[in-house]
Amino acid sequence: MEEAETRYRTKLGSQSKTLKAAVTEYKRRYNRSPPLGFDDWWMFAERNEVKLVDEYDGLMEDLAPFWKLSGKELRSRAAQAGELPFVDLVSIRNGSAKAFNLRNGGSVSGRAEGFRAMIRRIAKELPDMDFPINAQTESRVLVPWERQQYPNITVQDSSQGLHAMLGGIFKADWGDEGNMWEAWRRTCHPDTPARRVFSSLRSNFRVQNVNYFESKPLPGDDFNFVARTSSSIDFCQHPPLHYQQGHFFSDWRPIHALYPIFSPAKVKGFLDIRIPSHYYYGNTPRYTYGWDYVNLELNEVDKMEVPWEKKVDKVFWRGASSGGGNHPPGHSPQFHRHRFIRMASDTSGSTNRTITFADPSRRNHFVSASVPISVLNRETTDVAFVKAVAAESYPGGAKALTSQHRFADSVSLGEHWKYKYVLDLDGVGYSGRFMAFLASDSVPIKGTVYSEFYESWIEPWVHFIPLSPSYQEVYNIHAYFSGPTNEAMKRLATSVVDRAMRIRLTETDRRLRRIARAGKQWKKTIGRHVDIETYVYRLCLEWARLTAEDRESMDYL
């Protein structure tokens, strides 16, 4: 936490203060001039008191592959992408933005409407261009390693149309012709373990009706914290980890040629271009902190917010049993949400967890207690599914799904604010509630493999707590900040349970509240609607240059 705070303060303090400094920093980072209109963008950012004006490395990384294509070729591919299933187009013409779909009579997704709204204020400053917007939650663009390194081995001239580029008519789902993992691992270098392992369309888990990844940690996993979220996991080097993530079993077929698709999040290996989620820009009761859906206004403090001293000292989560596709069938028990709920639903007396605490009476000394997970779950978590999604795909059907996982009634978003810890887990794609959790007075614990537009703007362990894919350390996260549970107290040496422990717990509770306050401040100052607009403004300038006939003429000099 101390290292993260230092890192974040340094980042905030090092931002450019003038246009000249911003241009110099841009050239230093990216070895080229900023795009035309950079001065207008700077004035927009300065006028709106944007704090992180230099942090766009993720955006530039997303756009880097497209510099290999000419502006003409890129414009052609952007237009053709609108012919793909579940892709909308947002077009700027004569300073006005419009969203439409070429396939279904004009009806467009919320993602396309949201992006159109984000650029509405700046459209008059921009040249004509097209943005193909992903209407699905999953990432879409997976280009095999060989096609990225040796583009001459495939068709690179889109003048013959979309089907020529993709080697035939594009099918929206897999059917029986492959799966997402098989496609994804081909983005890896041929020498990596993911390319060398045997892969099969048959699920190893299909006929089993048991808890597939039981909550039995390896030695040390209980106390194995992570510095960041799992968005940087290298599945090429660690292929077995893919079984824990539902997006690798999506039923939707990815696009295997380099087409520009703008998506709200992506997993490492995909080549989608990230844009802010429409959930973060709109105001809806399910995704917006403080939204009064009666008076249709946004309040700074949600009417269901609870003072810190009255919040329940537990990890809280409610959601549907989504988590990815199920192709081939049988993999749903390994999906991230299922694994966590199953772990936190464990009422058996056969599994213990080791909970470790710093002994405040002896410096650099730690004490541990082995506690039944059933008791830990009762004392530290309140998590449950509220809706069974695709229950028939779970081995054993709805009966097995409901017997192996806890289910409870649906709750409003505001119900989360009663708890100190709010858990944020991926669903089929990224979680849309993260910004609301940050805005609250509670602390988000986030487990995700998705990266989003704000990744370089936010700092784990300063604004939220990151969680590993195994989730095993969640009990010790709770133990660090909230101290021993009643059962752990009984099992600890009596010398530990003294006044010094109570003093320490007061300090760690303050540290937890500090994270809650930092997240709330981040949302108020860096995660605002205008910060989202500033991001897409910068994206539009870069995209305008990339798609220009003469890119040099689109440089800011």
The model's confidence at residue 213, banded by pLDDT at 50, 70 and 90, is very low
CA distance 7 to 5: 5
Residue 325, pLDDT > 80, answer no
Q: At residue 424, what are phi and psi to the nearest 5 degrees? A: -125, 110
Locate all alpha helices (DSSP H) within 301-454, ordered by sequence: 336-344, 373-380, 397-404, 434-439
Tokens of 505: 């717990």
Residue 159, pLDDT > 60, answer yes
- Mean pLDDT in the chain? 90
The model's confidence at residue 218, banded by pLDDT at 50, 70 and 90, is low
Q: Give 89's Cβ-side CA count (13 Å radius).
A: 22
Tokens of 235: 């599945």
CA distance 413 to 313: 18
Look at residue 203 in the predicted model and tell me its pLDDT: 55
CA distance 96 to 122: 9
Residue 133, pLDDT > 50, answer yes
Concatenating the DSSP letter of every residue in 158-175 gives: GGG-HHHHHTSPPPSB-T
Of 189-198, 281-290, 363-372, the poorest mean pLDDT is in: 363-372
Locate the domains of the chain by residue range: 32-217+226-278+531-550, 304-528
**DSSP-based helix, strand, coil % in the chain, nearest 5:** 40, 15, 45
Residue 81, pLDDT > 70, answer yes
Look at residue 209 in the predicted model and tell me its pLDDT: 43
Look at residue 498 in the predicted model and tell me its pLDDT: 63
Cβ atoms within 10 Å, residue 544:
21
Of 48-57, 121-130, 292-301, 325-334, the poorest mean pLDDT is in: 325-334
First to last CA, the chain: 41
Residue 350, pLDDT > 50, answer yes
Query: Is the domain covering 304-528 a CATH 2.60.40 domain?
Result: no
Which of 251, 241, 6, 263 is CA-nearest to residue 139?
A: 263
Query: Which whole number is the average pLDDT over 23-48?
Result: 98
CA distance 287 to 284: 6
Contact 173, 326 (CB under 8 A): no
Residue 254, pLDDT > 90, answer yes
Q: Read off the pLDDT of residues 54-69 as tens digits, 9 standing for 90 and up.
A: 999 999 999 999 999 9
Look at residue 528 in the predicted model and tell me its pLDDT: 97
From residue 34, how far is each of 26, 365, 544 by CA, in Å? 6, 53, 12
Which of 358, 428, 431, 485 is CA-nearest to residue 138?
A: 428
Burial class (CB in 10 A: 0-12, 13-18, 19+), 159: exposed
Of 173-177, 323-327, 472-476, the poorest mean pLDDT is in: 323-327
Place of tokens 């990339």: 546
Query: Which whole number is the average pLDDT over 278-295?
Result: 91
The model's confidence at residue 208, banded by pLDDT at 50, 70 and 90, is very low
Q: Which residues contact 122 (CB under 8 A, 6 or more apart)?
A: 44, 533, 536, 537, 540
Of 8-22, 37-51, 167-181, the poorest mean pLDDT is in: 167-181
From residue 174, how far is each of 86, 171, 178, 179, 398 by CA, in Å? 15, 7, 6, 6, 25
Residue 206, pLDDT > 60, answer no
Look at residue 550 in the predicted model and tell me its pLDDT: 96
Look at residue 185 in the predicted model and tell me its pLDDT: 95
CA distance 394 to 210: 11
Query: Which whole number is the average pLDDT over 94-114?
Result: 91
Residue 233, pLDDT > 50, answer yes
Query: Which whole number is the average pLDDT over 482-496?
Result: 75
Residue 496, pLDDT > 60, answer no
Cβ atoms within 10 Å, residue 23:
18
Query: Which whole number is the average pLDDT over 255-261?
Result: 96
- Proportion of the chain above pLDDT 90, given as a percent: 69
Q: Read off the pLDDT of residues 403-427 as tens digits, 9 standing for 90 and up.
A: 999 999 999 999 999 999 999 999 8
Look at residue 339 in the predicted model and tell me its pLDDT: 92
Residue 364, pLDDT > 80, answer no
Residue 162, pLDDT > 80, answer yes
The model's confidence at residue 202, banded by pLDDT at 50, 70 and 90, is low
Q: At residue 485, what are phi and psi to the nearest 5 degrees? A: -75, 175
The model's confidence at residue 211, banded by pLDDT at 50, 70 and 90, is very low
The model's confidence at residue 80, banded by pLDDT at 50, 70 and 90, is very high
Of 178-187, 217-226, 267-276, 359-368, the poorest mean pLDDT is in: 217-226
Which carries the bigger pLDDT value, residue 247 or residue 109? Answer: 109
